[in-house]
C-alpha cells in the first residue's frame, strides 16, 4: 500500500511538459491525418513539415510504424516525389 501511495502524484503536482503536451492519441490522430493527406496529394505544406518534424523529434509520441512512414514522406520529399506547397 505504501509503495502504491508514493507512485501516485497529487493532482496539482504535474511537470510542465505533462500539462503542455497534447494527449498522445491526439498526436497520433493528427500525424495519421497529415500523412494520409500527403500520400493522397503528394504535396506537403511547410506547416505539415513542421508538425511532422515535431512529432518525429518527440520520440515517445510516435509508434515505430508512424516513424517509418514519416521517414518515407521525407525521403519522397528529398527525391522530388512529394512537392512543397504553401
Instruction: Summarize pLDDT for 70-85 with one digit per residue, the tens.
Output: 999 999 999 999 999 9
Q: What is the pLDDT of residue 78?
A: 95
- Between CA 46 and CA 51 the distance in angstroms is 9
Instruction: Summarize pLDDT for 32-61 with one digit per residue, the tens.
Output: 999 999 999 999 999 999 999 988 887 667
CA 73 to chain centre: 14
Integer angstrom CA distances of residue 42 from 34, 35, 76: 11, 10, 9
For the chain, domain boundaries: 23-85
Instruction: Say if pTM beats, i.e. exceeds, 0.85.
Output: no
- Evaluate if residue 10 carries a pLDDT over 90: no
**HSE on the CB side for 2, CA within 13 Å?**
0
Amino acid at each position: 500500500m505504501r509503495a502504491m501511495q508514493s507512485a501516485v502524484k497529487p493532482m496539482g503536482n504535474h511537470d510542465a511538459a505533462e500539462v503542455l503536451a497534447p494527449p498522445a492519441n491526439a498526436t497520433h490522430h493528427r500525424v495519421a491525418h497529415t500523412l494520409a493527406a500527403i500520400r493522397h496529394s503528394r504535396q506537403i505544406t511547410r506547416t505539415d513539415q513542421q508538425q511532422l518534424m515535431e512529432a518525429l523529434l518527440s520520440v515517445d509520441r510516435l509508434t515505430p510504424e508512424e516513424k517509418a512512414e514519416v521517414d518515407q514522406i521525407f525521403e519522397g520529399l528529398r527525391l522530388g516525389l512529394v512537392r512543397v506547397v504553401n
